[in-house]
Amino acid sequence: MNNNFNWERFKNVVRYDIAANRKTTLVFFFVLAFVMFSSHAFCIVNALYTIENMTEMAGYTNFLPDKVQEYNACLDFSGGVTFIGYWLFFIVVGSFVFFNMRTKQQKIGVLVQPATHLEKFVTRVLWVTVVMSLVYLAAVMFSDVLRFLLCNIIDFPAIGSVTVRMFEMPSELNFGDSSLAMKCYCLFTMWLSVVMMQSVYVLAGTLLSRNQWLLTTAVVIVVLLVWAQFSLEGFGFFMPDHHIGLKALLVLPVQLGVTVFSYWRAYKTFSGMQVINNKWINA
């Protein structure tokens, strides 16, 4: 079968993928919801502890705790954790792109589908990008409801919504006194940095046959640490700059080049996957 793209075949592959990975998707949802609710609960308990200690010390310091400030700080913390957590999750989950091909039987089930490699590859990329983003958002909303219930049980004011606070975070990022065009550029390069890193994890998830996310994270950390030794701006090369110069001219082509190459190489590797492979690398 040639590698053309047919929408009818593609829809059939998507339906099969949803049915085959329903359990995995639910596991991701509940794990994410549990982690987020745990962070919300930790923040609430810490706020209560701080208020109680400051109230006890008020007789010596004549300083009453600002409860509203503590409540808002708790909401800001939870919103920040979910905002940063999304980007980290979006990157790392890319290594699970072919999590549905861990066993020999799973590989046979995927490879024998009456569809092209391109249609199957696009389906999996959509699963780790669009579907997992929706799962993360659903987990945020579910944990937000649990947070509200917990606040009512322990008589802690449930000020605001973590879900809303998370979406407000990008507008509060500080880029100095930059113009609107520069702020848009900064946000775009930040987003593209995340997409680039996710494409690297997708490539690793295709090349490696086991422990993909762990090995990839270890390699990325080592590369960043080595890179930082050779350049004081090593960590910030793919991040926005306040001044458009040579760095601004280079960063976008590099980001786009790495992203396109990673997805292209991942697709080529997937196209050559074999059912029987006892190696750590799918080559």
Query: How many other C-beta atoms are found inside a 10 Å radius of the C-beta of residue 68?
Result: 10
Choice between 68 and 79, residue whose per-residue pLDDT is larger = 79
> Reduced to 3 states, what is the DSSP secondary structure of residue 40?
helix
> Reduced to 3 states, what is the DSSP secondary structure of residue 281?
strand
- Mean per-residue pLDDT, 128-140: 95
- Mean per-residue pLDDT, 170-191: 73
- Please answer whether residues 47 and 74 qualify as being in contact, where contact means their C-beta atoms are separated by less than 8 angstroms: yes
Q: What is the DSSP string of 174-219?
A: --TT--HHHHHHHHHHHHHHHHHHHHHHHHHHHHBSSSHHHHHHHH
Using the predicted structure, report yes or no on whether residue 147 has a pLDDT greater than 50: yes
So what's the pLDDT on residue 161? 85
**Residue linked to tokens 């579907």:** 131
pLDDT in tens, 85-107: 999 999 999 999 888 887 778 78
So what's the pLDDT on residue 64? 46
β-partners of residue 281 are 208
Least confident range from 24-28, 51-55, 92-96: namely 51-55
Using the predicted structure, report yes or no on whether residue 229 has a pLDDT greater than 70: no
- Mean per-residue pLDDT, 58-84: 70
So what's the pLDDT on residue 175? 63
User: Which range in 22-26, 43-47, 155-159, 160-164 is most confidently predicted, on average pLDDT?
Assistant: 22-26
So what's the pLDDT on residue 63? 47
Least confident range from 12-21, 213-222, 233-242: namely 233-242
- Please answer whether residues 109 and 20 qualify as being in contact, where contact means their C-beta atoms are separated by less than 8 angstroms: yes
pLDDT in tens, 108-126: 888 888 888 899 999 999 9
Q: How high is the mean pLDDT of the chain? A: 80
Query: pTM for the full model?
Result: 0.84
Choice between 136 and 238, residue whose per-residue pLDDT is larger = 136
Q: What is the DSSP string of 53-102?
A: HHHHHHHHH-----HHHHHHHHHHHHHHHHHHHHHHHHHHGGGGTTGGGS
So what's the pLDDT on residue 177? 57
Least confident range from 2-16, 22-36, 170-184: namely 170-184
So what's the pLDDT on residue 29? 96
- Mean per-residue pLDDT, 13-33: 92
Choice between 85 and 1, residue whose per-residue pLDDT is larger = 85
Single out the residue of 165, 153, 36, 75 nearest to residue 67, CA to CA.
Answer: 75
Using the predicted structure, report yes or no on whether residue 40 has a pLDDT greater than 90: no
The secondary structure of residue 245, as a DSSP letter, is S
Choice between 109 and 67, residue whose per-residue pLDDT is larger = 109
For the chain, how far is it from start to end, CA to CA, in angstroms?
A: 21
